[in-house]
Every structure is written in structure tokens, then in C-alpha cells.
Structure 1
């Protein structure tokens, strides 16, 4: 079975590179009339998102026709979003669509692969920066073949924390998001950053560039691949309230060590959002 999954991972890397080339060629030439909205006026999708997802799923299905698929654009169109024990590909064709529209350089193709509801490998290709992040369960995490390791910093007051505001503009949610941000800044930490892509934020944790990343409102396709990259680089994953990470909960906390994770849990004003497996699309 191990050889089968290694072959699948190699294929995923090749597919991610091909998809990334499409993204790069389209970046900067997206017409205004090609940008559409989904759940809110700032939850964007483009024709390139849809084109790239079709490319990825088509290339994977040709090799693995019996596998299951969860893709961001497919779910938005009404496909099921349930993670079963069956081999399942979890795909975000363009993580950071707003970045893509504005040519902000953090845009990723994210492909995770899960069996028995556990991610076995993850591929995150930072298209515009041409960086390939990969991880295989028990085999480590890498960027362009170079091993990744989380930051050794243990004092949260020396940490850089990544977070995002998401696409939810509900007033109550925003109040909690900004209350959390204020409390984190007041620790004080060295700084707060955000790449605009959950997958890349997680790769920044794995690379040791930031000590932590948290967000409420992301989706399983945003974090499936990145979650394994973090854990294989020595990081810690949990829910924003301190329990185990649930990929379908739309809440994530990824850190370089447990002490920083537990401190951030005390500062985050957590709230619940509708789970990915509660409905076909958000």
C-alpha cells in the first residue's frame, strides 16, 4: 500500500505544478467580469478557479477513478462535502483567490489525500513564488526537497502570529475576531501577519517563519494538505478552543509547540461556524 500512496503523491505533485502554471499564466490578466462572488461580496471565485479544479480532478480521476473527491468549486456547485474512510482527495484549486485577483504573490494550489479520515500526504504549491511544499505521514515535510522544521522559539512574546479576517462580515463574528486580535497583540507578540492563504500560512508555520497561525471560517480544502505539512515539520495542531483538530469544523490553530498553542487558546475569543459536512456549500 505504501508504494501505491507514494505513486499517488508523485502524481499529485506533477498535477499541482501543471495547475500552478495555469494559475501563473492567468494572474494579472483576470478581467473584472470574470470575477464572481459566492457567500459574500468579498468571497471571490474566478473562471480560473473552476478551470484549475477541473484540470486537477480530471488528472487525478484518470489515475484513481474509484477515489472520492472534495473540491472547493465542486462543493460550491452542490457536490457532497463529507469525509469518509474511503481514499479521498481534498482540493483547493486556488487558495488565495483574492490574492490571485490582485496579484498579491501568495497563491497556492492545495491537494490533500486522506484515508480513514487521516491525511496521508499533502501538497501545497505556491504558484507565483514557485515553491513546492510536500509532506507524507511519518516521512517529514519539505520545500523543494529541503527539510522543513518549525521555529524553536518557546516564548510567545517573541512570536509572530499569522491570522486572517476571512469572508464573514457578520458583526458578531467580526467583534470576536477583533477582540482576539487585540488580546494577541496585547500579550505582546512580536507581530501579526497574514499571507491571505490558509495553506501558505500553514507552510509558514512549518518553515519556521511564523510561530503560529489561527483562523475561524476556513474550510477543509484550505487546511487538509497544510495540516500534515505542519505536523510533519514538528508542529502542533488543535482546535482554537484546545481540543483536537477537526478538519470539518472550519477552525484551526497551528503552532510550533504546545506551550504557544495553549497560550493562544486562552486569548482567542472562539465562536462556531457551520461545519463543512453539515451542508454542500457555505
Structure 2
């Protein structure tokens, strides 16, 4: 299986690097966008082009592989996760950043086999950050192996979180309650504007934990394996096992920190993918 994953990964990496050129053409922002579920949930033609590039390239090499893609899902393709090799794609994670020219957006591509993420690529071509991981082979930023921090206590943790893209009043109330908790209990708070890059920051050791409610499988599939291969953990924000289709995630530098944070969070349960 390792040899097969290496082969799949090598093809995917070249496609991601090539697709990154579509993003770097718009480093000053992309003003041609459309609304999706709300006035802060947006899509551009670049999102669609990147996803099409990845799906067509991978299909040409691996015709039996399955796909779950953000833009495909938005157009009505149902998210179905089987035991078959499945590529889970967010073509531009951090679309709002991308539109504004804020340099924190990325391509996120995870490979899931038997419902477990076994390889992941998170690529921010604007600042040349390439995070990668394969099962049992460690996590890397460009060519340097990376590791999570050793933080185990919320009071010493820099915690990343996001408000999300919904205007739902109950969700916003939960966001504000959790933000209040973080700024009074944790070392500090950060918001990058991209779920994948938030997870990459935990893997890098720059952030100690990240949680979010309302994200999707394509936001977190690559980040899951990258965090775990960097020595961290991914769980449900209530403390149970991680479920890639639950639209809920908490990743951290240690099991102790993850569980302590989970015990402090106000919970929100969105509709599953």
C-alpha cells in the first residue's frame, strides 16, 4: 500500500503545483466572484478551474479513484465516502482572502482510503508554503520536517479559530461565546481565514490548537493527516473520535490540550456533509 500511496502522491503533487499557477496570477485579489450560501461564502472561476485541473489530471492516471470536491458539492454532487481511494479537494481554501488579496489561501488535497486520510497536500503558492504528509512518513513544510509544539495546557496555548461563512444567529452566538473563552483563558487567539492553513499552523508548531464548527470534509482532509504525521491529534470538538464528514474539527499539539479545550468549548452541531 505504501508504494501505491507514494505513486498517487507524486502525481497529485505535480498537479497541485501546476494548479498553483492559477492562484498566483491573482496575488492582488480576484474581483470576479459569485455568492454561494451567504454574502461571505463566495466562489470564483479560479476555484472551479483548480478543481477541474486536479480531477481531470488524477482521473487520467487513476480512473478508478473517487472524488469529493467543494465546487462539485455546491453544484449538487452528493458527498459519498466509501473505502475506495478518494481525493477530497478544496481548490481555494480561503476564498474570501483570495478575493481581497490577503495572502492566506491555499489548495487543499487529501487522499482518503478505507475512510482514513493517508496523504495530504496544502499549498499556498502566494508565499510558497507547501505542507505535505504521507501515512507513516512524517509531515513537511517544503523540504523540512515539521512537528507540533509540546503545549499541553490551554493557558499556554495559542489557539486558532474561525467565525465561518454562515450568518446563522445561533452559530454566531456560539462563535462569540468561544471567542470570549479563548481571549480570557488561552495565551492568545489567531484567525487565518483558511481551515487548511489553520491546521497546517498546528502541524508546524506555530499554533497549538484549532477548532471550527461548520467546515466541510474538503477543508480538513489534508490537514488531518498533516497534523497527525507532525505528532498532533485530531478529534471531535466535544472530545470524541474525529469524523471527517461531521463538519466539526479540533486539532491540537497533544491529546491533553485537545481534551481540555474540548471540555471548555460551547458546542454547535451543523448538518453533516
Task: Map residues 1-282 of structure 1 onto 2, 5 A cutoff.
Answer: 1-28=1-28, 30-31=30-31, 34-187=32-185, 189-276=186-273
Query: If the length of structure 1 is used for normalisation, what is the TM-score?
Result: 0.95
The Cα of 1:154 is off from its aligned counterpart by 2.6
Unaligned 5+ segments in structure 1 are: 277-282
* Rounded Cα–Cα distance in structure 1 between residues aligned with 2:221 and 2:265: 22
* Rounded Cα–Cα distance in structure 1 between residues aligned with 2:84 and 2:23: 30
The Cα of 1:258 is off from its aligned counterpart by 1.4
User: Residue by residue, what CA displacement relative to the aligned partner does 1:203-231 show, whole Å, maximum 9, x if unpaired?
Assistant: 00000001000000100000000110000
Cα RMSD after superposing both structures = 1.0
Structure 1 moving runs of 4+ over 3 Å: none
* Rounded Cα–Cα distance in structure 1 between residues aligned with 2:164 and 2:57: 30
Unaligned 5+ segments in structure 2 are: none
* Rounded Cα–Cα distance in structure 2 between residues aligned with 1:237 and 1:159: 16
The Cα of 1:7 is off from its aligned counterpart by 1.1
Partner of 1:280: none
Query: If the length of structure 2 is used for normalisation, what is the TM-score?
Result: 0.98
2:27·2:103 contact (CA, 8 Å) conserved in 1? no
* Rounded Cα–Cα distance in structure 1 between residues aligned with 2:223 and 2:111: 11
Alignment size in residue pairs: 273
User: Residue by residue, what CA displacement relative to the aligned partner does 1:18-48 show, whole Å, maximum 9, x if unpaired?
Assistant: 11111111332523xx210111111010011
Bigger drift between 19-28 and 94-103 goes to: 19-28
